[in-house]
Amino acid sequence: MSVQVWTHCSAATMAPRAEQAYGLIQDAALVVDGGSLAWVGPRDALPAKWLARCTHQHDAGGALITPGLIDCHTHLVYGGDRANEFEMRLNGASYETIARAGGGIASTVQATRQASAADLQASAGRRLRQLMGEGVTTVEIKSGYGLALAHERKCLAVARVLGQQYAVDVRTTFLGAHAVPHEFAGRTDDYVDAVLQMLPQLHAEGLVDAVDGFCECIAFSAAQTERVFVAAQALGLPVKLHAEQLSDSGGAQLAARYGALSCDHLEWLSPEGAQAMARAGSVAVLLPGAYYFLRETKLPPIALLRQHGVPMAVSTDSNPGTSPCTTLLLMLNMACTLFRLTPEEALTGVTRHAAAALGLKDRGVLAAGLRADFVLWDVQRPAELSYGLGGAPHLQTIFKGQAR
């Protein structure tokens, strides 16, 4: 077994309740034993036994090391794009005109159904490589543009294959309850019946790690969403929810009752919703890319989330309609500039709290016993990761102990 020692670095460990902001260790050493971290601390406290057992010693060249980044909310697998609609709108077309011409989410569903698994793998692979180029080591990928068994299966299987093809951990989420496909127009309850039939089959095929829904006046009601949660719970699957993005539908309270890992978006979250999330231990996943792209003006209630101690994660929401985004670092900046998170909250949101939003306890922090997923950055201090608009501070990513 290889034992690797990394020195000549500082480490933002992101350890909870650390004395230093970011759990920062100025002159740090990291010991990697196989695919896990065996020791993390100040270099001058490194136990001699690790140097004795060391097979590879690495000079990090003064880099800052953080945990591998975690993008905990993406819709990475879809056909086509919506650049044409973006352009039409900026040339004066209304949403209604575009929707009547088969645009919006329906156009992505059509393009996704028409695409082969190989096409989807190629396009999602391009987006995934962009995320990985900024140090992402774990990514969640939702279905939700197939909306029929064969196509939901195709998208989830593509997500699984991406996790085998690339040195990144992929977590899949079944989002059958994302939108009502045209063949069920006006029959939302019948479509929910169809979703309830898809879920056990996809789960039996090993394609589902969690279950999500879109609880909103333009999508599924709280009662319809609850039927999906009941089915998930019966299979022992954790749930999460797109909640209070465009209005307050009480989705957060509903999700909390089912012990949701996370509630996502939350611009319209109420005090009752925040309280329910705090009691359930649900993470608030903030998605500044969608807020920006839709030119929303209602901010998620950050002070309320802080007041109730709800952990906040930050993610790209990478999708063709509301956040065509493949840069998690830009989301750090937007979480700070638009939502007024501190840089420390933002970085916690793509590491420790993003891991919690996926129910993962073995990553998101640099600590002995956890996965050796970490990133070397060409920056002096952690705040630079949130400060930069573009730029390329990424030097190297280590995934399960290996350079990638």
Identify whether the C-beta of residue 141 lies closer than 8 Å to the C-beta of residue 159: yes
Selected from 10, 108, 123, 318, the binder of ligand DI6 by CB under 6 A is: 108
Give the one entry of Fe ion, ligand DI6, none that residue 103 binds, where binding means its C-beta sits below a cut-off of 5 to 8 angstroms depending on kind.
Answer: none
User: What is the nearest approach in angstroms of ligand DI6 to the Cβ of residue 35?
Assistant: 34
**Is residue 71 within the footprint of Fe ion (CB under 5 A)?**
no
Site size for Fe ion (CB under 5 A): 1
Burial (0-12, 13-18, 19+ Cβ within 10 Å), 202:
buried
Exposure of 156 in the CB half-sphere (CA atoms within 13 A): 28
- Residues 6+ away with beta carbon under 8 Å from 257: 276, 280
List the x/- string, 187-216, binding to ligand DI6 by CB under 6 A: ---------------------------x--
List the x/- string, 160-179, binding to ligand DI6 by CB under 6 A: ------------------x-
Identify whether the C-beta of residue 140 lies closer than 8 Å to the C-beta of residue 74: yes
Selected from 123, 319, 326, 351, the binder of ligand DI6 by CB under 6 A is: 319
Sign of CA dihedral 229, 235, 240, 242: negative
- Residues 6+ away with beta carbon under 8 Å from 258: 226, 229, 232, 233, 239
Please identify, using beta-carbon distances, which residue of 127 and 394 lies nearer to Fe ion: 127
**Is residue 98 within the footprint of ligand DI6 (CB under 6 A)?**
no
Amino acid identity, residue 267?
E
For the stretch 393-396, contacts whose Cβ atoms lie closer than 8 Å and that sit 24 or more positions apart, written own/partner, are 393/329, 394/133, 394/134, 394/135, 395/61, 395/63, 396/63
Amino acid identity, residue 79?
G
User: What is the nearest approach in angstroms of Fe ion to the Cβ of residue 219?
Assistant: 11
Selected from 321, 364, 393, 401, the binder of ligand DI6 by CB under 6 A is: 321
In 3-state terms, what secondary structure has residue 214?
A: strand
Region binding ligand DI6 by CB under 6 A among candidate stretches 28-36, 61-69, 315-323, 338-346: 315-323
Identify whether the C-beta of residue 128 lies closer than 8 Å to the C-beta of residue 76: yes
**Is residue 105 within the footprint of ligand DI6 (CB under 6 A)?**
yes
First to last CA, the chain: 19
Selected from 153, 171, 240, 242, the binder of ligand DI6 by CB under 6 A is: 242
User: What is the nearest approach in angstroms of ligand DI6 to the Cβ of residue 72?
Assistant: 15
How far is Cα 282 from Cα 135, in angstroms, rounded to an integer?
25
List the x/- string, 269-298, binding to ligand DI6 by CB under 6 A: ---------------------x--------
Structure tokens belonging to residue 117 = 């698994």
Please identify, using beta-carbon distances, which residue of 71 and 373 lies nearer to Fe ion: 71
- H/E stretch holding 172 reads strand 169-177
Please identify, using beta-carbon distances, which residue of 169 and 212 lies nearer to Fe ion: 212
Give the one entry of ligand DI6, Fe ion, none that residue 401 binds, where binding means its C-beta sits below a cut-off of 5 to 8 angstroms depending on kind.
Answer: none
Report the candidate in 11, 58, 41 with the shortest Cα–Cα distance to residue 347.
Answer: 11
User: What is the nearest approach in angstroms of ligand DI6 to the Cβ of residue 294?
Assistant: 7
How far is Cα 349 from Cα 358, in angstroms, rounded to an integer?
12
Of 6-45, which residues contact ligand DI6 (CB under 6 A)? Answer: none
Identify whether the C-beta of residue 229 lies closer than 8 Å to the C-beta of residue 250: no
Region binding Fe ion by CB under 5 A among candidate stretches 19-27, 198-206, 291-299, 317-325: 317-325
**Is residue 317 within the footprint of Fe ion (CB under 5 A)?**
yes
User: What is the nearest approach in angstroms of ligand DI6 to the Cβ of residue 185?
Assistant: 17
How far is Cα 228 from Cα 195, in angstroms, rounded to an integer?
8
Give the one entry of Fe ion, ligand DI6, none that residue 203 binds, where binding means its C-beta sits below a cut-off of 5 to 8 angstroms depending on kind.
Answer: none
The position carrying tokens 């012990």 is: 259
List the x/- string, 324-343, binding to ligand DI6 by CB under 6 A: --------------------
Please identify, using beta-carbon distances, which residue of 10 and 319 lies nearer to ligand DI6: 319
Which spans of this chain sit near ligand DI6 (rule: CB under 6 A)?
105, 108, 178, 214, 242, 245, 290, 319-322
Which spans of this chain sit near Fe ion (rule: CB under 5 A)?
317
